[in-house]
């Protein structure tokens, strides 16, 4: 007797129905087949039955112990990030910046406002706390403001973490410097080279777009200075250790193809199309800088199609799509904190402000800069690791941050791939839990998932090869023997693979910093 196993579903144009189960397997069927399934009339000799059974949508047995164990194993793999509790740690070594970007999400301070610098003693206390995290490997990301303006704290934190790593029982401690590259010096770049520090920078597109909102306090072109120092950084640190992230404003929505071409021309290994976050100066100038998420989704779809054309001549992933496709096509977890359930706030990443205050996410710290410290977890000068990360504040936050129990998400077909953002919920509604239907977060992610699944259902073999090249070559999944399994959707199952580092824009993890 055929038995239906739990799944969500969504109707697509052309008489197609998308099925997604709780462990993230998906399959498209015709509406007629879906109706047979619902009626309990899909026989075992139906041509769709083997695929539906292998993907755990139906079972031939009432008590399918093997199917349950298989689903449980996949579910554990998808939630494996929970084992590496708080592996990403972001240190805001200063809020000062030599630029005043119109959309700065942290409301950066003047370049001479030294009271916003993190003292070395605070930096070392933060490193001590970071090394108490249970994860075998941790990543420390230096943010601002512009972190190169307080280089003493950066250098001291790196040396101290290296000195204490082995005694703290960490296999690795990796470092990322988030910098706008317009104030960096050669000696700082040499320090990055000597200590294996990756450089994450910002590029919003061609010169006119980059200079439009990224304004140097000293006047002149931020783009020209960026270009010169980008070449210097690549020469000293290495091309494979310097990458960039863009922020999409209203002015750039219709220029995504030109922005992608700029990234390709400058020799970057891919592009991450990132929407604007409503914090800091970006919130104050929302009327000028902002846009509806439906418009962003339409522009994103055009950008994706343009990137696919670029991939006809070279390997060049769109990194947000790579994250989402990794979640859709493999059973492995990703470290992208924006789309985790429970939310990655605090349990996957944490941020330490210049004064030692600890927040569960960069957005929570941005909210505090706007005058509301609702999400503050404690301070390294007065609170222990257990009080900060084992306290009631973080537990309460995470308890309500699961899409499986969130109104508007609990029955969504994309639940297995999505997450929730309690900080943004609080900013927009006053509550950490809300009905997500129709929110900007939901419109953006549901729209992009709709687009990607439509693409997957109708893609060519050439496009399929491109998709798998993004997933495997970007380090998300290192598959034995090439592309896992030989197919997706209704064309074969995803085969073995192993997740790589955090699935996020290299090397800065896609966290909105002050660069």
Write out the residue range of the structural domain in which residue 104 sits.
86-258+278-293+342-388
Q: What pLDDT score was predicted for residue 508?
A: 34
Report the range of poorest mean pLDDT among 230-244, 315-329, 398-412.
398-412
Shared domain check, 102 and 61 = no
CA angle 63, 67, 68 (to 5 degrees): 75
Q: Is residue 478 domain-resident?
A: no
User: Could you say which of 78, 95, 115 is where a domain stops?
Assistant: 78
Among 342, 376, 392, 437, CA closest to 82: 342
Q: What pLDDT score was predicted for residue 478?
A: 34
Q: What pLDDT score was predicted for residue 64?
A: 66
pLDDT digits (tens, 9 = 90+) for 235-271: 999 999 999 999 999 999 999 999 999 999 999 999 9
Report the range of poorest mean pLDDT among 145-149, 195-199, 406-410, 486-490.
486-490
Rounded to whole angstroms, what are the CA distances from 365 to 4, 370, 374?
45, 9, 10
Exposure string over 274-307, b if 16+ CB within 10 A, otherwise e: bbbbbbbbbbbeeeebbbebeebbebbbebbebb
Q: Is residue 476 domain-resident?
A: no
SS (H, E, C) 56-67: CCEECCCCCHHH
User: Could you say which of 47, 78, 109 is where a domain stops?
Assistant: 78
pLDDT category at 106 given cuts 50, 70, 90 is low
Shared domain check, 201 and 131 = yes
Q: What pLDDT score was predicted for residue 329?
A: 94
* Collapsed DSSP state (helix, strand, coil) of residue 367: helix
What distance in Å separates the CA atoms of residue 383 and residue 389, rounded to the nearest whole number? 10
Average pLDDT of the chain to the nearest whole number: 87
Q: What pLDDT score was predicted for residue 112?
A: 72
Overall domain count for the chain: 2
Shared domain check, 183 and 134 = yes
Q: What pLDDT score was predicted for residue 512?
A: 31
pLDDT digits (tens, 9 = 90+) for 477-492: 333 233 333 333 332 2
Shared domain check, 61 and 12 = yes
Task: For the beta carbon of residue 201, count every other beta carbon within 10 angstroms.
Answer: 22
pLDDT digits (tens, 9 = 90+) for 39-80: 989 999 999 999 999 999 998 876 667 777 888 888 888 888
Q: Is residue 354 domain-resident?
A: yes
Shared domain check, 104 and 58 = no
Q: What pLDDT score was predicted for residue 493?
A: 28
Helices (H) and strands (E) in the chain, counts: 19, 13
pLDDT category at 314 given cuts 50, 70, 90 is very high
Q: What pLDDT score was predicted for residue 334?
A: 75
Q: What pLDDT score was predicted for residue 501?
A: 28
pLDDT digits (tens, 9 = 90+) for 346-394: 988 999 999 999 999 888 998 888 889 999 999 999 999 999 999 999 9
Which comes out higher in pLDDT, residue 333 or 149? 149
Which comes out higher in pLDDT, residue 185 or 73? 185
User: Could you say which of 388, 421, 444 is where a domain stops?
Assistant: 388
Q: What is the dihedral of CA 146, 153, 510, 219, to 10 degrees?
A: 10
Q: What pLDDT score was predicted for residue 479?
A: 31
Residue 12, strand partner residues: 16
Shared domain check, 101 and 13 = no
Shared domain check, 115 and 91 = yes
Q: What pLDDT score was predicted for residue 62?
A: 62
DSSP 234: H
Q: Is residue 350 domain-resident?
A: yes
* Candidate ranges 109-113, 142-146, 274-278; pick with highest mean pLDDT: 142-146
pLDDT digits (tens, 9 = 90+) for 446-476: 999 999 999 999 999 999 999 999 999 854 3
Q: Is the pLDDT of residue 507 over 60?
A: no
User: Alpha-carbon Rg of the chain, whole angstroms?
Assistant: 23
Q: Is the pLDDT of residue 499 over 60?
A: no
Q: Is residue 171 domain-resident?
A: yes
Q: Is the pLDDT of residue 504 over 60?
A: no
Q: Is residue 240 domain-resident?
A: yes
Q: Is residue 426 domain-resident?
A: no
Q: What pLDDT score was predicted for residue 476?
A: 38
Q: What pLDDT score was predicted for residue 352?
A: 97
Shared domain check, 234 and 351 = yes
Shared domain check, 252 and 206 = yes
Shared domain check, 90 and 72 = no
* Collapsed DSSP state (helix, strand, coil) of residue 357: strand
Report the range of poorest mean pLDDT among 73-87, 110-124, 186-200, 382-396.
73-87
pLDDT category at 117 given cuts 50, 70, 90 is very high
Q: What pLDDT score was predicted for residue 203?
A: 96
């Amino acid at each position: 007797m055929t038995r239906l196993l739990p799944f969500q579903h969504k109707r697509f144009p052309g008489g197609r129905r998308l099925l997604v189960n709780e462990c993230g397997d998906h399959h498209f069927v015709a509406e007629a087949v879906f109706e047979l399934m619902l009626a309990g009339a899909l026989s075992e000799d139906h041509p769709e039955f083997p695929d539906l059974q292998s993907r755990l949508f139906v079972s031939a047995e009432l008590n399918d112990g093997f199917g349950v164990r298989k689903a449980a194993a996949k579910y554990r793999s998808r939630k494996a990030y929970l084992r590496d509790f708080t592996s990403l740690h972001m240190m805001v070594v200063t809020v000062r910046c030599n630029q005043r970007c119109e959309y700065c999400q942290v409301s950066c301070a003047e370049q001479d406002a030294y009271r916003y610098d993190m003292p070395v003693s605070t930096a070392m206390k933060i490193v001590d706390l970071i090394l108490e995290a249970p994860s075998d490997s941790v990543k420390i990301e230096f943010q601002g403001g512009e972190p190169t303006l307080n280089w003493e704290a950066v250098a001291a934190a790196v040396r101290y973490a290296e000195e204490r790593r082995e005694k703290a029982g960490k296999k690795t401690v990796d470092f990322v410097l988030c910098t706008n590259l317009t104030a960096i010096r050669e000696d700082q770049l040499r320090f990055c080279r000597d200590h294996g520090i990756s450089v994450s920078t910002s590029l919003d597109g061609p010169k006119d777009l980059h200079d439009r909102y990224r304004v140097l306090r000293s006047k002149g072109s931020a783009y020209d200075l960026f270009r010169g120092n980008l070449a210097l950084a690549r020469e000293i640190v290495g091309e494979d250790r310097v990458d960039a992230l863009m922020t999409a404003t209203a002015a750039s929505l219709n220029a995504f193809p030109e922005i992608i071409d700029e990234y390709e021309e400058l020799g970057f290994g891919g592009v991450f199309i990132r929407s604007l976050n409503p914090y800091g100066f970006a919130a104050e100038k929302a009327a000028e800088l902002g846009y509806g998420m439906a418009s962003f989704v339409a522009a994103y779809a055009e950008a994706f199609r343009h990137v696919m054309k670029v991939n006809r001549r070279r390997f060049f992933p769109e990194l947000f799509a790579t994250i989402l496709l990794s979640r859709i096509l493999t059973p492995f977890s990703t470290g992208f904190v924006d789309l985790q359930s429970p939310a990655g706030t605090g349990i996957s990443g944490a941020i330490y402000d210049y004064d030692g205050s600890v927040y569960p996410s960069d957005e929570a710290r941005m909210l505090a800069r706007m005058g509301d410290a609702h999400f503050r977890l404690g301070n390294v000068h007065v609170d222990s690791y257990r009080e900060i990360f084992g306290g009631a504040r973080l537990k309460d936050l995470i308890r309500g941050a699961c899409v499986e129990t969130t109104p508007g998400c609990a029955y969504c077909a994309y639940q297995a791939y999505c997450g929730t953002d309690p900080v943004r919920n609080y900013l927009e509604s006053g509550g950490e839990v809300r009905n997500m239907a129709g929110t900007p977060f939901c419109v953006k992610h549901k729209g992009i998932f709709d687009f990607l699944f439509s693409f997957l259902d109708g893609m060519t073999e050439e496009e399929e090869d491109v998709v798998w090249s993004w997933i495997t070559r970007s380090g998300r999944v290192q598959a034995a023997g090439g592309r896992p399994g030989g197919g997706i959707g209704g064309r074969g199952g995803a085969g073995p693979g192993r997740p790589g580092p955090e699935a996020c824009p290299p090397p800065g993890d896609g966290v909105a910093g002050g660069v």
